[in-house]
Structure 1
Amino acid sequence: MNKRKFIKLIILVLLICISNILIFKFCNLDDKSITLSYKIESNGQDSYQVFYGNDASWKEEQSQRKSYTNVNNQETLKFSIPKDTMDLRFDLGEHPANINVSDIKLSHWGKDANIDLNQILNKNNQNEVVEIQQMNNSLNIETTGNDPYISYKMDSSLISNLIEREVTVNYGIKLGMCILIDILGLIVLRKSRSVLILIQELKNNKTLIWSLSKNDFKTKYAGSYLGIFWAFIQPIVTILVYWFVFEYGLRSGSPIKGVPFILWFMAGLVPWFFFQEALLNATNCMLEYTYLVKKVVFKISILPIVKILSALFVHLVFIGFLFFVSSIYGFYPSLYTIQLIYYSFCTFFIVLGISYATSAIVIFFKDLGQIINIFLQIGMWMTPIMWSYTMVPQQYQWILKLSPMYYIIEGYRDTFINHAWFYQRYFQTVYFWVVTLALFSIGATIFKKLKPHFADVL
């Protein structure tokens, strides 16, 4: 091993060690809620509400409501309550009914703890409940319908025992993240020559890249009366059409209380437009610039980045438009706005990694361009841009989060609406960069392997 390779190895090992230390130090799973559930059977349809708190001062904002519709059949109602809950109140509908309640339990990360029905009978403070009896591990309750409820004082040891598993899960996830980073480090080390050559080419030709990007952006709309304005008119019209259809046609409201639908919607659609346009243009760059690909001295590795920068110009204008709309509704720039640089770079980098592979493969397999178009159409509707991921059952939400674009779109919403830093979503951040760096390494390797044959095929 020569001195240069040895230094690279040492640097990589140090980076991996530092990453592992940071993960174990700062990446702590902190699920602030647990699940309260119970089975209910009633002789009438009704809504059931659970209040939670620490001082028995029941507030509407500290409650959740579920509907019971399957009359005379057992249903399970689930509520999400904070870990520090000490007082519970079970509201038992708004109409007189005979109710059977059973299997009242708390759940957290696959571990369950049942609430002792005897404790409810002994400790409860009940209102408008005509009769309550325990029978076969269940409670038979007769109510008058005038806001009946049962209150219960939580045993603190019940929750503390329940969340013990969270520590184990924490260490398991941390270990998995460290293993992923270590594997990625080994891949980067093995493929480092291809990646480093590519990065060096981009660095040496940065002036040319900038000039070609500006020229590409201008010439795309040369000859038309409105010129480059067409780059903004079509996406803006698309946004307005989608907004009108969803908010006024389908009556879709914003998933976040107090946030206008148009702002929530645009914060998700603007980064997707950038990703879509950049990927399509970068995929076809070799076919568009055939005359440059055939030149022996030209560094064709800069062409995908030229196309992505060209799309970035349009994206910057749309960010300005997003600022304008958000200001109208009282959402002004803040310290969190600086995250736009980070999330734009995330989009730029993942498109670059993917496009190195697609731009090389499309030369030999022309149908790839049409396949990418189809995948982008599917991806636009599968990614929670026009709808909230909370509409999906909680046990399936992880499937949506596998897409790297989920991280970016939610990041834009965190910047404009939620005011949350990217490092607060540390698991998703680590996952995104593991996937992105892997895609970039694979893309750079494919590009390097196929590049010698480009001129012959074209």
Structure 2
Amino acid sequence: MNKKRVIKLVLLFIIIVIFNTLILKECNLVYDSITLSYNVISDKQDIYQVFYGTDMEISEERSVKASYEELGKEEELKFTIPKDTKQIRLDLGNQPAQIKLSKISLESFWKSVSINFESIINSEDKNQIQSLTKQSENIIINTDGSDPYVYINLDKNSISTLNENFNFINLAFKIALCLITNITILILAKIYRSLLSLVLEVKTNRFLIWNLAKNDFKTKYAGSYLGVIWAFIQPVITVLVYWFVFQIGLRATPMGNFPFVLWLIAGLVPWFFFSDALQCATNSMLEYSYLVKKVVFEISILPVVKVVSAFFVHVFFLIFAIVLYECYGYAFNLYTLQTIYYTFCMCVFVLAIAYSTCSIVIFFRDLAQIIGILLQIGVWLTPIMWSVDIIPKNLKWIFMINPMFYVVQGYRDSLINHVWFWRRTIETFYFWSIVGMLFVLGVVVFKKLKIHFSDVI
């Protein structure tokens, strides 16, 4: 083994150790709440409420409500409470009723522990409860006032079980993330020459890319009276339509303290760019078929040309959004500059996908239509026009595995929430791991199929 190879292996080992150390130290799943759930059958529709705390100072701020609506039918009510809760108060509606409770449990990360019925039946701190008896797997409660409640001390062993389960899942998550990162690094190390050559081709032809992108942007609207102005009119009209439908038609409420239109545009800006850039980059080889057939032309720059072309509209749209924020009184600040980082993330993500899709579409033309359909579905699966907070916490991960969730959330962090990207350690590691793997796949597919392009196109 020569000296040069030894140095490379040592550097590779150091890189892997650094990344694994960062993951094991910094990447932790968020564990700040647990879910209290129970099934209810009652003869009255009512609002059930849970107060929580460590000292049980009662306040509305430290409570959660749920509605029981189907008379005589069993419903599951769920309440999200802090993980350090030691005592809860179950408020059983606002009127006299006969209530049957069952399957009372605490849940977190797919682990559920039952609450002992005896802790409810033997509770000495209760109010306006006429009778409270155990019947098989149920508790029958008869209330006789407008404020019936019972206090429950949560079992330390139950909380400990949930904590141990979280620690196990958190460790498994870290190990999985380390494996994904290590595999990505090893693959990158193996094909780094191909990646490096691709980067060098882009760098060498950067002026050509710029000129082709400008020409592509102008050509797209050539022949129309307004020309390239249409590129800017379309997204603005789309935003106005969405705003009218959701805020005027459906009367969408402000998201937190922010006007809905500002919250909406922060999600639409990155999605429009992603959608336009991906579709155009996918068809780049077909559109520039005359260049693909040229032996001396570096066709690897064509997807980049399309992304840069779409970037022109994105810049305008982003400026439009910032001006709109200014009009509403939200001034430009340092966090806004973070949109540059998230735009870069999106460009790399698009190219990572596009190098695969632009290669495959030459042999399978239906892929372009399939991508169009997937993007139509994706705009609704990504929390752009709705908030991910409406999704139960145990299901949020389904939507968060979408890399565009990271970008959309990042734009909102930059324009609304004012959160730096390095504060979202797990999401950042996950995003770049996925992008890295997609980029490796894209480069491999592109290099393998490249030699056949001119024969098929």
TM-score (norm. length: structure 2): 0.91
Structure 1 residue 351: deviation in Å? 0.7
- Tell me the residue number matched to 2:364: 365
- The one-letter code matched in structure 1 to 2:22 is L
Structure 1 residue 180: deviation in Å? 1.0
> Is 1:405 matched with 2:382?
no
Higher mean C-alpha deviation, range 363-372 or range 152-161? 152-161
Cα root mean square deviation, aligned: 2.5
- Tell me the residue number matched to 1:266: 265
**Distance of 1:381 and 1:422 partners within structure 2:** 24
Q: Which runs of 5+ in 1 are unaligned?
A: none
- Map 1:309-458 onto structure 2 (within 5 A): 309-458=308-457
Structure 1 residue 349: deviation in Å? 0.3
Q: What is the number of equivalent residue pairs in this alignment?
A: 457
For 2:73, what is the secondary structure of its paired residue? coil
TM-score (norm. length: structure 1): 0.91
1:142-164 deviations in Å (ceiling 9; x for gaps):
22342222234445565344312
For 1:363, what is the secondary structure of its paired residue? coil
Contact 2:129 2:149 in 1 (8 A): yes
1:221-254 deviations in Å (ceiling 9; x for gaps):
3454433221110111011112211222233435
**Distance of 2:250 and 2:95 partners within structure 1:** 33
Higher mean C-alpha deviation, range 175-184 or range 318-327? 318-327
**Distance of 2:123 and 2:270 partners within structure 1:** 54
1:89 to 1:335, Cα distance in 2 relative to 1, 3 A = farther
**Distance of 2:145 and 2:94 partners within structure 1:** 5
Contact 2:109 2:394 in 1 (8 A): no
1:37-60 deviations in Å (ceiling 9; x for gaps):
223221122121111223333222
**Distance of 1:164 and 1:364 partners within structure 2:** 51
1:457 to 1:75, Cα distance in 2 relative to 1, 3 A = closer
1:350 to 1:4, Cα distance in 2 relative to 1, 3 A = farther
- The one-letter code matched in structure 1 to 2:399 is L
Contact 1:127 1:148 in 2 (8 A): yes
- Map 1:115-134 onto structure 2 (within 5 A): 115-134=115-134
Higher mean C-alpha deviation, range 137-146 or range 93-102? 137-146
1:317 to 1:94, Cα distance in 2 relative to 1, 3 A = same
Structure 1 residue 6: deviation in Å? 4.9
> Is 1:176 matched with 2:202?
no
1:69 to 1:447, Cα distance in 2 relative to 1, 3 A = same
**Distance of 2:393 and 2:158 partners within structure 1:** 24
**Distance of 2:374 and 2:422 partners within structure 1:** 30
Contact 2:123 2:150 in 1 (8 A): no
> Is 1:200 matched with 2:170?
no
Contact 1:101 1:138 in 2 (8 A): yes
- Tell me the residue number matched to 2:212: 212
**Distance of 1:55 and 1:329 partners within structure 2:** 42
Structure 1 residue 22: deviation in Å? 0.5
Q: Which runs of 5+ in 2 are unaligned?
A: none
Structure 1 residue 306: deviation in Å? 1.4
1:335 to 1:59, Cα distance in 2 relative to 1, 3 A = farther
Taking every aligned residue pair, what percent have the same amino acid on both sides? 51
- Map 1:19-38 onto structure 2 (within 5 A): 19-38=19-38
**Distance of 2:100 and 2:359 partners within structure 1:** 65
- Tell me the residue number matched to 1:240: 240
**Distance of 1:102 and 1:374 partners within structure 2:** 44
